[in-house]
Structure 1
Amino acid sequence: MSAEAAAVTAEEMMAVEAARLLGDEDVCFVGIGLPSLAANLARETHAPGCVLIYESGPIGAKPTRMPLSIADGELAATADALVSVPEMFAYWLQAGRIDTGFLGAAQIDRHGNLNSTVIGDYDRPAVRLPGAGGAPEIAVGVRDVCVILRQSPRSFVDRLDFTTTPGDHVRTVFTDLGVLRKVEGELQLVQVHPGVAVEDVRAATGWELVVSDDLTVTRPPTAEELATLRRLRAESQR
């Protein structure tokens, strides 16, 4: 591993690898945080033609800094068009006009089902989370759902505390340890990041993880990817 690759953080590796999924002709429904960072990294590097859509109504947003929320004025100011939320969900999402959706969650199971509602019993939860938002609609409305989530036994669980979002369209999960893809209805480990062992991933998973026979190692970020990613993050902190 090069000195530059060694300095890459887990979040940077997740964002870079998720960005590589997007192509120049993709239409992507983007969430705030790492999903937004990944999507805008793709737009500013290898996929300048990809169309980014946010839940609040911006279509073709091209933010110069990472938005703080879906209501951030930067999204509306840089969008090709701005539509109402009902139109966004009814005309764009439910009509199948969006290729890819990025989601986060607190928990995921082996089938890609997601929990962002509660940790613990629903009536007396240990933690009450923000809830579904538009995630259930996104999860069934886009062709391919990608999840970005740090991997640990608390987040990758054998049984969800609550099912917020169905995992039927979840295809790929990007974590700080590697990449999982759904094969025959179950998430399998197909890729590990540099320096990560398969046993590290198994130890961070709450079910008996299947490892692909064609397991690969993530290609480290290029100098362009890393510089662009860090510029986007730096501009968000000004």
Structure 2
Amino acid sequence: MPEYSDMEMIAYTGSRVLEDEKIVFVGTGLPIIAAMHAQLTHAPNLYMIYEAGSLAPVLDMGMPLSVGDTRAARKAMFLKGLCSAFELTQRGFSDYAFIGGAQIDMYGNICSTMEGANYDKPTIRFPGSGGAGAMAANCEKTIAIMALEKRRFVNKVDFLTSIGFGDGSPDYREKAGVMGSGPYRVITNQALFGFDEKTRRMMLLEVKPGLTPKDIQEKVSFELVIPPVVKEMVEPSDHDLSLLRDVIDKDGYFLKKKVQK
């Protein structure tokens, strides 16, 4: 198999998760790359919502560098601004929310606000939700994307920015007044996770070739649900890498970033 980077593996796996004839609300960076790759391969009728207000733009001027990039508005079938974009999700017109974060727990709750015990004096202050909090609350399913590091996969998030299954109770999301079925997939450079239907805990689905479920568990602070059969992650082909490197992110704005070792 050809050599690929961690970011390329994340983007390619994100593409594999997306389906044709669906609508995905994308965040900046790897989610956009994954969605563009899916459009160019197995999901030509995948449509993207951008936070700045566009739905289903034609990205023939290249990859938008942010959700507010004017390229994300080109030939869009809907272009009415931020509030209208989120109204679409509240009306049930988004199958997936595709978001990132700094921390995630076993129930798919995501923190992108801060790290530390004191909100007023955090160890690290992150950029915050952007639109991710509303996306996780209103879109039908949430796909999270981040590097596999123990500091990110924590027992309890330091701040609940984007709602998942809360404390894992069956009616948590309903009582919280949010829509959608909640967390669906967590995509990393070394593993693909889903969620157990009964317990709502994070479940290991696939591991990178050469690794074992034990290797993945050692990089997660909480106990994973590990089924009897765990598949190997599909690796990107030369064609996939060519699309990622030479067509989508030609300047390596996002794909050349490194995962902290």
The residue type equivalent to 1:172 in the other structure is: R
Q: Which moved more, 1:56-65 or 1:181-190?
A: 56-65
For 2:137 and 2:229, how far apart are their aligned partners in 1? 29
**Percentage of identical aligned residues:** 34
**Where does residue 152 of structure 1 map in the other structure?**
149
**Where does residue 11 of structure 2 map in the other structure?**
15
For 2:76 and 2:209, how far apart are their aligned partners in 1? 36
Contact 1:102–1:147 (CA under 8 A) maintained in structure 2:
yes
> Which protein has the bigger strand share?
1
**Where does residue 212 of structure 1 map in the other structure?**
227
- Correspondence 1:103 to 2:118: no
- Correspondence 1:30 to 2:26: yes
**Where does residue 75 of structure 1 map in the other structure?**
72
For 1:68 and 1:126, how far apart are their aligned partners in 2? 29
RMSD: 1.4
**Where does residue 245 of structure 2 map in the other structure?**
230
For 1:149 and 1:236, how far apart are their aligned partners in 2? 18
The residue type equivalent to 1:177 in the other structure is: Q
SS in 1 for 2:249: helix
For 1:80 and 1:25, how far apart are their aligned partners in 2? 15
Among 51, 57, 64, which residue is 1:61 paired with?
Answer: 57
Shift of 1:65: 2.4
**Where does residue 163 of structure 1 map in the other structure?**
160
SS in 2 for 1:146: strand
For 2:67 and 2:50, how far apart are their aligned partners in 1? 7
**Where does residue 52 of structure 1 map in the other structure?**
48
For 2:112 and 2:85, how far apart are their aligned partners in 1? 22
SS in 2 for 1:170: strand
Q: Which moved more, 1:61-70 or 1:34-43?
A: 61-70
Unaligned 5+ runs, structure 2: 166-181, 254-261
| TM-score of the aligned structures, taking structure 1 as reference length | 0.93
For 1:191 and 1:31, how far apart are their aligned partners in 2? 24
Shift of 1:129: 0.8
Aligned pairs, how many? 232
SS in 1 for 2:135: helix
For 1:30 and 1:78, how far apart are their aligned partners in 2? 17
Contact 1:27–1:50 (CA under 8 A) maintained in structure 2:
yes
**Where does residue 83 of structure 2 map in the other structure?**
86
Unaligned 5+ runs, structure 1: none
Among 189, 201, 206, which residue is 1:176 paired with?
Answer: 189
The residue type equivalent to 2:38 in the other structure is: A
Runs of 4+ in 1 over 3 A off after TM superposition: none
| TM-score of the aligned structures, taking structure 2 as reference length | 0.85
